[in-house]
């Protein structure tokens, strides 16, 4: 219970996205509680940044495991995720039920929030992950290909090709430092990785058709294939849920997620609620579990067999990282920019959003507050 309450508080107060979350975890569990040494915490963060999934949530699960074993990992996940998931599910329910006042201006505001946030993410990731001419070219090719063919299969194919290219072009002096020491049995690790693979194959190959199955498979695939976490999950979820959802509904949910504490992956909770309109809370629950499950399985697997796996994998991710930057760039152009900026008023508001994020580097919560107020005022006086 103590672990759950600790992470529940963090889930209610941790604004700012995964990088901020990692800093908060370090302050609490390295500096204050001294559960981890600096090196142990750095190893855990490195492990979670190499494997697919929501990095900050995976780090939280790793901390929970250190504090209380498997039950502690689950308590940490539930506590950290619950506030954001619940608020996002309620947001989806409000959109569906019409219990909000006239909301066209609010949807516009949230789309403009998404424009600023994703632009900032693309610029930052481009500078960090696309430093060579080859990686810049890989990112641009991925952006063009995904713009032409925005499907989950296209993403899987490009990531696979990028991983192969990283292996073929790897230089001998790119060897990485040893991985963290295993913390689970090898049998547990192998079982976790096998379950991850089986569920991934089932999600891709079985003929799912009803709404609940779409929620389950769409969120599992997105959580299983996203390298980099955070904003990078956006193109995967967009390719899975648009259609049947409209671009407006999807981007409004992404904008809403910027105002929430905790993990950005709870965008899946919102999508589950609006996709299963007749039972939104069930849809949100299934979506939340599905999008976080693959990251948890990969964390368990790599924590056990990482000594053999991670030194091989990490130096080969150079082109994979470039591809995910390209995917995010493609989504920034379409649908985010094309759906957000369509007249003089929205052009002006978009400039404000970009100035706040790229220029002034204000927090997502500040951005949401300013854009909601300005968009309401603009809608009231000149219309949108």
Rounded to an integer, the average pLDDT of 305-319 is 65
Rounded to an integer, the average pLDDT of 189-205 is 88
Task: Quote the mean pLDDT of the chain.
Answer: 82
Rounded to an integer, the average pLDDT of 195-208 is 85
**pLDDT tens, residue by residue, 161-180:** 888 888 787 765 554 444 44
Rounded to an integer, the average pLDDT of 148-153 is 77
Give the model's pLDDT for residue 86. Answer: 92
Question: CA 300, CA 189: separation in Å to the nearest integer?
Answer: 6
**pLDDT tens, residue by residue, 235-288:** 888 888 888 888 888 888 887 887 788 888 899 999 999 998 888 889 999 999
Give the model's pLDDT for residue 19. Answer: 63
Q: Is the pLDDT of residue 312 over 70?
A: no
Rounded to an integer, the average pLDDT of 332-342 is 85
Give the model's pLDDT for residue 76. Answer: 94
Ranking 56-65, 97-106, 147-156 by mean pLDDT, the lowest is: 97-106
Give the model's pLDDT for residue 182. Answer: 45
Rounded to an integer, the average pLDDT of 373-384 is 87
Q: Is the pLDDT of residue 181 over 50?
A: no
Ranking 94-98, 145-149, 217-221 by mean pLDDT, the lowest is: 94-98
**pLDDT tens, residue by residue, 91-130:** 888 777 765 555 678 778 878 887 887 788 788 878 888 8
Say what the alpha-carbon torsion angle 142, 145, 148, 154 is, to the nearest 10 degrees.
Answer: -90
Is pLDDT larger for residue 312 or for residue 148?
A: 148
**pLDDT tens, residue by residue, 256-271:** 887 788 888 899 999 9
Q: How confident is the model at residue 143 (pLDDT cuts 50, 70, 90)?
A: very high
């Amino acid at each position: 219970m103590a672990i759950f309450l600790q992470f529940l508080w963090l889930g209610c107060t941790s604004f700012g996205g995964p990088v901020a979350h990692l800093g908060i975890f370090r302050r609490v569990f390295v500096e204050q509680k001294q559960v981890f040494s600096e090196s142990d915490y750095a190893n855990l963060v490195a492990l979670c940044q190499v494997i697919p999934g929501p990095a900050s949530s995976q780090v939280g699960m790793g901390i929970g495991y250190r504090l209380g074993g498997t039950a502690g990992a689950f308590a940490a996940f539930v506590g950290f995720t619950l506030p954001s998931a619940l608020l996002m599910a309620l947001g989806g329910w409000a959109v569906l039920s019409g219990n909000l006042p006239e909301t066209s201006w609010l949807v516009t505001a949230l789309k403009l929030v998404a424009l600023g946030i994703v632009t900032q993410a693309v610029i930052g990731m481009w500078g960090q992950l696309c430093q060579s001419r080859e990686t810049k070219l890989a990112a641009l090719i991925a952006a063009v290909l995904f713009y032409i063919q925005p499907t989950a299969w296209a993403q899987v194919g490009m990531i696979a090709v990028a991983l192969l290219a990283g292996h073929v072009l790897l230089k001998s002096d790119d060897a990485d430092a040893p991985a963290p020491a295993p913390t689970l049995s090898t049998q547990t690790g192998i079982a976790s990785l096998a379950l991850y693979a089986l569920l991934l194959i089932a999600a891709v190959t079985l003929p799912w058709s009803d709404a609940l199955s779409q929620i389950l498979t769409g969120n599992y695939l997105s959580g299983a294939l996203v390298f980099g976490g955070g904003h990078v999950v956006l193109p995967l979820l967009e390719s899975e849920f648009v259609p049947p959802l409209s671009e407006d509904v999807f981007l409004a949910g992404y904008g809403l997620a910027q105002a929430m504490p905790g993990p950005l992956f709870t965008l899946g909770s919102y999508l589950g609620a609006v996709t299963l309109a007749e039972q939104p809370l069930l849809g949100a629950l299934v979506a939340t579990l599905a999008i976080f499950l693959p990251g948890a399985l990969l964390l368990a697997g790599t924590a056990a067999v990482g000594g053999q796996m991670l030194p091989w994998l990490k130096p080969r991710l150079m082109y994979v990282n470039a591809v995910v930057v390209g995917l995010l760039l493609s989504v920034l152009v379409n649908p985010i920019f094309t759906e957000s900026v369509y007249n003089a008023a929205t052009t002006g508001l978009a400039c404000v959003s970009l100035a706040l994020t790229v220029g002034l580097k204000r927090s997502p919560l500040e951005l949401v507050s300013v854009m909601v107020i300005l968009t309401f005022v603009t809608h009231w006086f000149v219309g949108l």
